[in-house]
Amino acid sequence: MIQPSNDNEFYELDDPTVLPKASGFLWNERMMVQATCRGYMVAQFMQPEPAKYSHGPNLEAKSFMQPEQGYYAHHPGRFVYVKDEAGRLFSAPYEPVRARPDQFLFSVGKSSLRWMTESSGIRVQMTLTLSPSDVVELWRVKITNKTPQRKNLSVYPYFTVGYMSWMNQSGEYRPELQSIVCSSVTPYQKYPDYFKNLEFKDKTFLLADHEPAAWEVNQEAFEGEGGLAFPSAVQQPFLAKGDARYETPVCIFQYQVALEPGEEREYRFLFGAAKDEAEIADVRRRYFLTKEGGLDGFARAEAEYREVIAQGKGCLTIQTPDPALDNFVNHWMPRQMDYHGKTNRLSTDPQTRNYLQDNMGMSYIRPSIARAAFLHAVGQQHESGEMPDGILLFEGAELKYINQVPHADHCVWLPLCLAPYLDETDDYGILDAVVPFAGGKASATLFEHVERGLGWLRQSRDHRGLNFIHQGDWCDPMNMVGYKGKGVSGWLTIATAYVFRVWADICEKTGRSDRAEQHRLEAQKTNDTANRYLWDGNWYARGITDDNVVFGVSTDSEGRIFLNPQGWALLGGTANDDQRRRLIQAVTDQLESPYGVEKLAPAYTKMREDVGRVTQKHPGSAENGAVYNHAGAFYIYALYSVGERQDAYRLLRKMLPGPDLDDIIQRGQLPVFLPNYYRGAYRQFSRTAGRSSHLFNTGTVPWVYRSLIDGLFGVRGCREGLLVAPQLPDHWPQASLVRSFRGARFTVRIQRQPGVATTEVRVDGRLLADGIIRDIVPGSEYEVEVSIPSAQ
């Protein structure tokens, strides 16, 4: 029913009703599409701000990508109606007719999405892929007659365009382009925007390789009284060849096809955005009219896109007792990291913490991109050391939405995300790269940029030594805690202790022992402060408000415990052994659910005025009380960092959907990406708990990947080479993996051995004293045997 296909490059779903929102996504450097099993789609491209060529039926707000995208009858989508001689109608993939298909398959692949719908012996196969860089969807629609009779069919690809503009919109068929061209001009009110908009791709086109018998460009005329499920125009022999004049445009072709038994016919389409007709003509020439080596541009683009996506592979291939884990880690996690690094979440001003973490993920797959990003980011640091709320990617981009609200945590992420980059690449030279500060007057090395960031964190503290929260920090913007300038963040204070230690290690490794010592002292001092003001007896408080109210503590009836301070207290050495036991138990008891750990509990049910915005996120609704995977991934990483491998694995496994069908159905999502959250508040609202946000923009993935590399499989880089120290869960007898690292290839076999007391690592038969493989020769292959105790 839901399964990986044979080569693990696809996930397959054979019923469009069991996971109605199951989706896959594709992207290239300029665009992103998310498509569901039923044919609904969201597509965005950058010009440079996000724009659409297929819109909702009304005036949509421009916003960041929303979780739990809702679908409705006129939601944008790509469909094919098929009508037989008797007037019987169905649509592929499933919407809008919703005729129950005899056969159905939705295949979510890395570089293509495929749908197969068969009804009364007529099979429709739809395939979507992208090109490496054009704003165009590449569609194949194949119709096959599986019956023993000749069939006369009308086939109507129906690609929605929607409400393009309140000021103007129109559409018509252009025979010389074999295209439907829908036009609008982005409205502007202030004249300077006119010049900004001049190059916009404001036209939507559907370009066909076969000349259509008829067409319709007018949504209302198409539907008539029959509506989407039985459009009046489809009830006629031919579409009316209409146009749209300030009417909602749509792209619909009609093909007449007579198919002998077993015969098939394929149509190909290009659907996308263009500036003008000349650009559409150029697209047509390049994709349909020009051949090279027997292939036209369409087929070549498909192949090139497949190749580009294949290059975004991870540095880890595993084989464990859990094939679902193998499939997810080997195929889908690197792809999701690659998406983040390549597209920056289709934003022109990614939040600083997102930008840095997304590029931390790129350290494992395309480290040169990560390198450039770290240097780009510090080029926008203020001389005070403060990092901005967002990193502008283009000339003329602006800080928008939440990036206009001051958050206090951005300086934390630079050393944190640099550390694994250095582990992976040993490119310590990056620390000496000289980059100007914002404004361009002063310059400094990256090392000094990081030092200034730490200095800013050290100074942004109250008289007790706790870090001010300003109007928010990571993950759960509690914007009323400290807006008067007094409130502090428990998490952020603990996080700075961790960051001082991380940076101290890097100082040490680059021969700066004095600095290292200084940062370690600072970490200790911070931890002492945290323990003095934030330890609540069994866990750490989340913060203290402007009015000196400590919250996230045992006396609170809502928001009693927050996950983030606990995990980071493990990472930063804040918690001693006793505290560690207590806080882990508290998390297990109060935050763990069948779908992972919740970010806070009990979820807020009403505004708490001194905490703020997080309480706008109702329980059982959005992020408040959710299993917020980004926070969960950190907690897992923290558990591995202190050797709590059983707890860590249990939570990891809950985060990654497994083969359990009930579990997948509750989450509502094919296991092809990690969403930013699963619905939480499990103890209050179990009906909806576990549901996927369906939003694949999240910093979760690199931290899970890092947990696998540094923790579970223990194949982490260090200055000397590769440190091998796996932390398999008790129930795994063995695991094996291939690790690509600094140009070499390590085949690692981990085996439980009765009689082995501690982990033994052998390379080419030779036992290593400290588990570190040194003197790695690029291009070499290493065979690594790891023996672990059977009663570990």
The helix (run of H) or strand (run of E) holding residue 434 is strand 434-436
Minimum CB distance to a second copy smaller for 76 or for 771: 76
Assess whether 476 carries a catalytic annotation: yes
At its nearest, how many Å lie between a second copy and the CB of residue 125?
23
At its nearest, how many Å lie between a second copy and the CB of residue 339?
22
Is the CB of residue 726 less than 8 Å from the CB of residue 789?
no
The torsion angles phi and psi of 329, rounded to 5 degrees, stand at -70, -40
DSSP output for 82-135: EE-TT--EEEESSTTT-PPPSEEEEEEESS-EEEEEEETTEEEEEEEEE-SSSS
Q: Give CA–CA dist 48/64, Å, rounded.
A: 14
Is the CB of residue 215 less than 8 Å from the CB of residue 254?
yes
Is the CB of residue 119 less than 8 Å from the CB of residue 99?
yes
DSSP output for 469-533: -BT--SSS--TTSSTTS--EEHHHHHHHHHHHHHHHHHHHHTT-HHHHHHHHHHHHHHHHHHHHH
The helix (run of H) or strand (run of E) holding residue 195 is helix 192-197
Q: Give CA–CA dist 184/166, Å, rounded.
A: 9
At its nearest, how many Å lie between a second copy and the CB of residue 91?
13
Minimum CB distance to a second copy smaller for 109 or for 477: 477
Minimum CB distance to a second copy smaller for 238 or for 401: 401
Q: 195: how many CB neighbours lie within 10 A of its CB?
A: 9
Q: From residue 49, how far is each of 298, 350, 392, 503, 779 by CA, in Å?
A: 27, 12, 12, 35, 42
End-to-end CA distance of the chain: 37
Minimum CB distance to a second copy smaller for 264 or for 546: 546
Is the CB of residue 12 less than 8 Å from the CB of residue 113?
no
At its nearest, how many Å lie between a second copy and the CB of residue 661?
20
At its nearest, how many Å lie between a second copy and the CB of residue 182?
12
Is the CB of residue 159 less than 8 Å from the CB of residue 78?
yes
Minimum CB distance to a second copy smaller for 74 or for 342: 74
At its nearest, how many Å lie between a second copy and the CB of residue 96?
9
Q: Give CA–CA dist 344/443, Å, rounded.
A: 26
Minimum CB distance to a second copy smaller for 244 or for 325: 244
Minimum CB distance to a second copy smaller for 399 or for 768: 399
Is the CB of residue 361 less than 8 Å from the CB of residue 355?
no
At its nearest, how many Å lie between a second copy and the CB of residue 187?
6
Minimum CB distance to a second copy smaller for 417 or for 469: 469
- 781-789 vs 744-753, strand pairing mode: parallel
Residues that bind a second copy (CB under 8 A): 17, 56-63, 66, 68, 70, 72-75, 98, 163, 166-170, 183, 185, 187-191, 194, 225, 227-229, 245-248, 401-402, 404-405, 471, 479-480, 483, 607, 612-613, 616-622, 624, 679, 685, 687-688
CA quadruple 768, 774, 778, 782: dihedral, nearest 10: 0
The contacts of residue 37 (CB under 8 Å, 6+ apart) are 13, 16, 19, 20, 22, 23, 93, 94, 106, 115
Q: Give CA–CA dist 667/688, Å, rounded.
A: 9
Is the CB of residue 746 less than 8 Å from the CB of residue 773?
yes
Minimum CB distance to a second copy smaller for 75 or for 268: 75
The residue among 705, 711, 709 whose CA lies nearest residue 638 is: 711
Q: Give CA–CA dist 155/434, Å, rounded.
A: 61
Which residue of the set 243, 326, 476, 536 is catalytic? 476
Q: Give CA–CA dist 396/193, Å, rounded.
A: 12
At its nearest, how many Å lie between a second copy and the CB of residue 651?
23
Q: 554: how many CB neighbours lie within 10 A of its CB?
A: 13
At its nearest, how many Å lie between a second copy and the CB of residue 194?
7
The torsion angles phi and psi of 14, rounded to 5 degrees, stand at -110, 15
Q: 441: how many CB neighbours lie within 10 A of its CB?
A: 8
The pair of three-digit structure tokens given for residue 224, joined into one six-digit string: 């008539």
Minimum CB distance to a second copy smaller for 70 or for 765: 70
At its nearest, how many Å lie between a second copy and the CB of residue 648?
29
302 three-class SS: helix
Minimum CB distance to a second copy smaller for 198 or for 791: 198
Residues annotated as part of the active site: 476
